[in-house]
């Protein structure tokens, strides 16, 4: 059969139509239900015009498979109630600057799991039909996917990063994340997620500052003055924490400090303080949750360099 007659075969055309919105990937049940016979599927795989993605998913060409094709292959392998979940669902919803090693799919507890080395397909007690996005590749809603992705992350650092960039990129709001975390009853990372989302929420800045004050005392460091008024030629502004005697300033940065509209103002303020002779340290709340000891060591070093002594305190 010539290549032209092969492409003109109505059964081949039927298969290609099925895969048009699925990254060129279809399942065996989809093909059989559409009237594509088993012998034709076997022939196309045998001669290498199609490729087997798993025992259930077939790619209708023999070239490189696009990312969306792998999403569909994973879901089709998982079965009728499978959905992309965690970071995989976020990437499918548009998350950038985050890579996923294996596509993650979840199915309800008790469902049959067709495992394959290529994709990570698991049962979960958290599966719920209402969590599904209504269009596109089956996947969990961004708020659900973000929380689960953070719970399943390899490290606390990765969990924090995922929560942060999902908010920064506008896929989810901190309020929605907070609501989803309330659904998590037991998990070793639940406390971390609560702390990070508090840092992401508008108005939670003061809560983070209270944590910092408590830890400064725990590390034997002097209590700073708070909300110290300063002036420059742009006007007046307040410093989060300042040891005025030692000219050391500690600025507490919530997530809003990473947004483009705040970057210039923060830089100008820090430069003005440096020109006035102050040592300026920055403490991002999200990083503070993960590496507090390193930040407090820097505060201690700055105070000691300015003449402070723990013995004289």
Over residues 213-252, the pLDDT tens digits come to 888 999 999 999 887 787 766 667 678 889 999 999 998 8
Lookup: tokens for 209: 């500052």
pLDDT of 262 higher than 70: no
In degrees rounded to 5, what are phi and psi of residue 268? -65, -40
pLDDT value for 195: 83
pLDDT value for 7: 63
Sequence-distant (≥ 6) Cβ neighbours of residue 180 within 8 angstroms: 143, 144, 146, 147
pLDDT of 259 higher than 50: no
Burial class (CB in 10 A: 0-12, 13-18, 19+), 154: exposed
How far, in Å, are 14, 102, 117, 152, 190 from residue 109 at the CA level? 34, 21, 20, 17, 21
Enumerate the domain spans of the chain: 3-143, 205-305
What is the pTM (predicted TM-score) of this model? 0.71
Lookup: tokens for 259: 């947004």
pLDDT value for 264: 59
pLDDT of 147 higher than 90: yes
Q: What average pLDDT is seen over the chain? A: 87
More confident residue, 99 or 77: 77
pLDDT value for 265: 64
Average pLDDT over residues 266-273: 75
More confident residue, 177 or 239: 177
Q: What is the dihedral of CA 79, 65, 28, 38, to 10 degrees?
A: -170
Q: How many other β-carbons are positioned within 10 Å of the β-carbon of residue 46?
A: 9
Sign of the C-alpha dihedral computed for residues 114, 120, 171 and 69 taken in this order: negative
Q: Which CATH superfamily is domain 205-305 in?
A: VSR Endonuclease (3.40.960.10)
């Amino acid at each position: 059969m010539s290549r032209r007659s092969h492409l003109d075969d109505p059964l081949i055309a039927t298969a290609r139509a099925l895969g048009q919105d699925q990254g060129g990937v279809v399942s065996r049940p989809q093909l059989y239900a559409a009237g594509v016979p088993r012998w034709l599927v076997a022939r196309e795989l045998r001669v290498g015009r199609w490729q087997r993605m798993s025992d259930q998913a077939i790619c209708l060409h023999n070239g490189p498979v696009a990312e969306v094709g792998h999403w569909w292959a994973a879901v089709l392998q998982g079965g009728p109630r499978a959905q992309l979940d965690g970071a995989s669902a976020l990437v499918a919803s548009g998350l950038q600057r985050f890579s996923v090693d294996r596509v993650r799919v979840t199915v309800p507890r008790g469902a049959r799991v067709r495992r394959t080395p290529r994709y990570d397909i698991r049962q979960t007690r958290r599966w719920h039909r209402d969590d599904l996005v209504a269009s596109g590749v089956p996947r969990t809603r961004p708020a659900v996917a973000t929380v689960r992705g953070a719970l399943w992350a390899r490290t606390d650092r990765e969990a924090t990063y995922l929560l942060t960039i999902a908010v920064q990129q506008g896929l989810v709001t901190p309020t929605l994340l907070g609501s989803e975390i309330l659904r998590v009853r037991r998990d070793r990372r639940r406390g971390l997620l609560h702390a990070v989302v508090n840092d992401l929420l508008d108005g939670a800045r003061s809560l983070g500052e209270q944590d910092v004050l408590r830890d400064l005392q725990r590390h034997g460091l002097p209590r700073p003055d708070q909300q110290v008024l300063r002036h420059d030629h742009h006007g007046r502004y307040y410093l989060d924490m300042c040891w005025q005697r030692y000219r050391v300033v500690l600025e507490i940065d919530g997530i809003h400090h990473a947004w483009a509209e705040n970057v210039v103002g923060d830089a100008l303020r820090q430069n003005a303080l440096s020109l006035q002779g102050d040592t300026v340290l920055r403490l991002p709340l999200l990083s503070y949750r993960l590496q507090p000891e390193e930040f407090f060591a820097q505060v201690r070093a700055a105070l000691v360099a300015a003449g402070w002594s723990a013995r004289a305190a």
